[in-house]
């Protein structure tokens, strides 16, 4: 039967182990960390002398295609050492890539791994790679976490050279603030290496393996805050110099020369930002070994965040605008009907510019041409204005003539005078029966009332 617990404290109490949250709460200010981040992957395979003894249980026989909880399909094994294995898997339910850590349930660190995973899942800080599930099932204990396909490890970024000043500043700022928030919740990382720091495609820095990576390897520390602070200083040192700040090589980076001790980054590589160089030394030499520096060491991530805030802000570089490439003609345009393409290796002749005019002669000629142009322009303008004025005068004369003639030809106003006399009248007899009395028509206009 599957056993799932939601309380990290219950798991720790049942196993008799002390959870990492309690270890973080017991951090001191002056002790020395039991384990420093100086090992490589090859060192992990041989076993870390400061970590706990690995469990006697052999790693489970797993292969690509194996499914956990009928949901997580294993795809590729990325790590197999010390009784546990780490895989890239696929969550078939949500159709997304995930990462899975697997170890036998009877492993000596199984209970502490479950406790660390569940404590980390409760943090819920997006600056950390989130733990999605922590399960004990079928004699296996596995921890499922986010898989960021678009993120790049700091190890891969440093393989091509040190980071730019602004990128290094953003990395140490975001990592320090994230670890300060984790320590306020009683969580420590204890394995903060370049492999655990990722930069996403949007430029955000994220941390994976909070508390879980240390639990898988049995790493503990009496001073977890100082351990993580020194690890952040090592990350900044490597980002500025592309060198690991210890004598041994690690994480694909060459270590410092032997017998010279820890030297500031600005003495390792030219052009290193002075403020970031001093910040790295304050985080690395946090045991008080700052004879050449006036600043006090940073012993906790919180102090490191304050030191970063006191620095002048580093602004991003100005964008560089590159010249666009020359226009490339297509094969169709370079065909028989197009412009012939120049032969490779043949330099096109450059036309020779005309020789410049003599100084005195050239000036005199320029002034003469300018004077002629001005005179011609003035004469043309004067003639054009004269022609327009003549046309305007003729149009006014024609309008006046037409107005006068039109007034003479118009109808005369009637003159009041004598009334018109009636000469004669005829009757209208439509039927022709003499009923209209034509003989009496003259009585109509004879001005006699008696004949009406």
Instruction: Give the confidence band of 344 by pLDDT, cuts at 50, 70, 90.
Output: low
**Stretch 56-73: mean pLDDT, rounded?**
81
- For residue 442, what pLDDT is reported? 78
Flag whether pLDDT at 160 surpasses 60. yes
According to the model, what pLDDT value does residue 428 have?
78
Mean pLDDT of 3-15: 37
- Helical ranges in 81-133 per DSSP H: 110-123
Q: Indicate the Cα dihedral angle 100, 103, 109, 115, nearest 10°.
A: 40
Taking the alpha carbons of 237, 239, 243, 249 in that order, is the dihedral positive or negative? positive
* Domain 11-31+46-146, second-level architecture: 2-Layer Sandwich (3.30)
Cβ partners under 8 Å of residue 64, min gap 6 = 74, 75, 76, 77
Highest-confidence segment of 42-56, 332-346, 373-387: 373-387
Secondary structure of residue 336 in the 3-state scheme: coil
Query: Does 351 score more than 80 pLDDT?
Result: no
Higher pLDDT: 17 or 5? It is 17
CA-to-CA separations, 435 to 425, 431, 450, in angstroms, rounded: 16, 9, 21
SS3 assignment, position 99:
strand
Q: Express each pLDDT in 257-274 by its tens digit.
A: 988 889 999 999 999 999
pLDDT band at 285 (very low <50, low <70, confident <90, very high): confident
Residue 167: what pLDDT?
97
Task: Determine contact, residues 173/131, Cβ cutoff 8 Å.
Answer: no
Determine contact, residues 61/73, Cβ cutoff 8 Å. Answer: no
Q: What ranges make up the beta strands (E) of 111-226? A: 131-137, 140-146, 152-153, 197-199, 205-207
* Residue 304 banded pLDDT, cuts 50, 70, 90: very high
Higher pLDDT, 134 or 26: 134
> Is residue 241 pLDDT above 90, yes or no?
yes
Confidence band (pLDDT; 50, 70, 90) for 329? low
Contact 220, 191 (CB under 8 A): no
pLDDT band at 173; cut points 50, 70, 90: very high
Indicate the domain borders of the chain: 11-31+46-146, 152-310
Taking the C-alpha atoms of 392, 397, 400 and 404 in order, what is their torsion angle to the nearest 10 degrees? -160
Cα-based distances in Å from 442 to 110, 328, 450: 149, 113, 13
Q: What does the pLDDT read at residue 279?
A: 96
**Band of residue 447 on the pLDDT scale cut at 50, 70, 90:** confident
Q: What pLDDT is recorded for position 30? A: 37
Do 305 and 197 touch, CB atoms closer than 8 A? no
Q: Which of 49-53, 214-218, 363-367, 392-396 has the lowest mean pLDDT?
A: 49-53
88 or 24, higher pLDDT: 88
More confident residue, 60 or 123: 123
159 pLDDT exceeds 60? Answer: yes
Contact 84, 137 (CB under 8 A): no
Least reliable range by pLDDT among 49-58, 128-137, 194-203: 49-58
Both tokens of 242, joined, read: 């592309």
Give 124-151 pLDDT, tens digit per residue.
Answer: 999 999 999 999 998 999 999 999 999 9
End-to-end CA distance of the chain: 142
> Residue 46's pLDDT band (boundaries 50, 70, 90)?
very low
Domain spanning 152-310 has what CATH number? 1.10.510.10
Angle subtended by helix axes 8-15 and 110-123, to nearest 10: 160
Query: 37 with 251: CB under 8 angstroms?
Result: no
The better pLDDT of the pair 46, 23 is held by 23
Q: Name the helix (H) or strand (E) containing 244.
A: strand 243-244
Cβ atoms 451, 444 nearer than 8 A:
no
CA distance linking residue 188 with residue 193, whole number of Å: 13
pLDDT at 391 over 70: yes
pLDDT at site 343: 61
Ranking 33-47, 107-121, 198-212, 368-382 by mean pLDDT, the lowest is 33-47
381: nearest Cα among 389, 392, 369: 389
Q: What is the pLDDT of residue 89?
A: 98
* Predicted local distance difference test score (pLDDT) of residue 355: 66
Cβ-in-10-Å burial (0-12, 13-18, 19+) of 62 comes to middle
Residue 59 has pLDDT above 90, yes or no: no
In the chain, the percentage of residues whose pLDDT exceeds 90 is 54
Only one residue has tokens 């820095």, namely: 205
The residue ranking higher by pLDDT, 346 or 81, is 81
CA 103, distance to chain mean position in Å, is 39
Q: What is the mean pLDDT of the chain?
A: 80
Q: What is the mean pLDDT of residues 186-203?
A: 97
Per-residue burial over 124-163, b if 16 or more Cβ lie within 10 Å, else e, is ebebbbbbbbbbbeeebbbbbbbbbeebebbbebbeeebb
Residue 15 confidence (pLDDT) above 60: no
Q: CA nearest 151: which of 120, 127, 134? A: 127
Q: Report the greatest alpha carbon distance in the chain.
A: 164
Q: Which two tokens stand for residue 63?
A: 């292969």
Q: How confident is the model at residue 6 (pLDDT cuts 50, 70, 90)?
A: very low
Stronger pLDDT, 173 or 62, i.e. the higher one: 173
Asked if pLDDT for residue 35 goes beyond 70, the answer is no
Query: pLDDT-based confidence at 25, cuts 50/70/90?
Result: very low
């Amino acid at each position: 039967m599957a056993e799932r617990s939601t309380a990290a404290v219950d798991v720790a109490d049942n196993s008799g182990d002390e959870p990492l949250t309690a270890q973080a709460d017991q951090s001191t200010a002056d002790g020395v960390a039991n384990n420093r981040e100086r090992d490589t992957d090859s060192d992990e395979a041989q076993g870390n002398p400061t970590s706990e003894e690995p469990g006697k249980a052999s790693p489970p026989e797993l292969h690509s295609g194996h499914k956990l909880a009928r949901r997580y399909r294993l795809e590729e094994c990325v790590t197999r050492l010390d009784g546990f294995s780490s895989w890239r898997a696929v969550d078939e339910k949500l159709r997304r890539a995930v990462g899975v850590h697997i170890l036998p349930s009877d492993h000596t660190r199984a209970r502490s791994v479950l406790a660390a995973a569940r404590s980390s899942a409760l943090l819920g800080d997006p600056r950390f790679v989130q733990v999605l599930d922590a399960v004990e099932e079928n004699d296996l204990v596995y921890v499922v976490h986010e898989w960021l396909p678009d993120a790049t490890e700091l190890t891969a970024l440093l393989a091509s050279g040190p980071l730019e000043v602004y990128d290094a500043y953003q990395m140490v700022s975001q990592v320090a603030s994230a670890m300060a928030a984790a320590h306020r919740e009683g969580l420590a990382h204890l394995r903060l290496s370049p492999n655990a720091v990722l930069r996403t495609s949007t430029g955000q820095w994220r941390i994976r393996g909070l508390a879980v990576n240390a639990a898988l390897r049995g790493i503990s520390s009496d001073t977890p805050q100082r351990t993580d602070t020194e690890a952040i200083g090592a990350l900044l040192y490597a980002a500025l110099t592309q060198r690991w700040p210890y004598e041994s090589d690690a994480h694909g980076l060459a270590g410092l020369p032997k017998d010279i001790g820890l030297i500031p980054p600005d003495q390792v590589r030219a052009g290193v930002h002075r403020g970031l160089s001093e910040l790295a030394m304050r985080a690395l030499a946090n045991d008080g070994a700052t004879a050449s520096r006036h600043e006090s060491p940073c012993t906790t991530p919180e102090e490191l965040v304050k030191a970063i805030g006191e620095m002048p802000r580093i602004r991003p570089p100005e964008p560089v605008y590159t010249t666009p490439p020359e226009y490339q003609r297509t094969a169709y345009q370079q065909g028989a009907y197009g412009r012939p393409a120049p032969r490779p290796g043949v330099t096109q002749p450059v036309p020779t510019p005309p020789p410049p005019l003599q100084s005195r002669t050239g000036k005199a000629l320029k002034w003469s041409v300018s004077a002629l142009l001005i005179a011609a322009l003035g004469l043309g303008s004067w003639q054009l204005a004269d022609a327009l004025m003549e046309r305007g005068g003729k149009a006014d004369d024609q309008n006046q003539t037409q107005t006068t003639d039109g007034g003479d030809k118009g109808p005369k106003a009637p003159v009041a005078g004598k009334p018109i006399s009636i000469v004669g009248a005829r009757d209208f007899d439509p039927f022709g029966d003499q009923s209209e009395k034509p003989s009496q028509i003259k009585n109509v206009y004879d001005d006699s009332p008696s004949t009406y």
